[in-house]
Structure 1
Amino acid sequence: MKTGATRPQIERGAAVVDFVLIMVLLIPIVLGVMQVALVMHVRNTISAAASEGARAAAVVDGNPSLGAERTRMLIRTAIADRYANQVSAGFGQVGGAPGTVVRVHTEVPALGLFGPGVSLSVEGHAVREDPP
Structure 2
Amino acid sequence: MTRERKRLFAVGGLLGAGFATGLLVGLEPFGALTPPPWLVLLLVVAAVVVGFGVSLFWWRHLDEVAREAHKFAWYWGGSGGLALGLALVVFVDIGGLAPPLLEGSSVREVFVAGALSVMVAQVAGYAAAWAGWWWARR
Q: TM-score, normalised by structure 2?
A: 0.26
Larger C-alpha radius of gyration, 1 or 2? 1
Greater RCO, 1 or 2 (C-alpha within 8 Å, sep 6+): 2
Higher helix share: 2
Higher strand share: 1
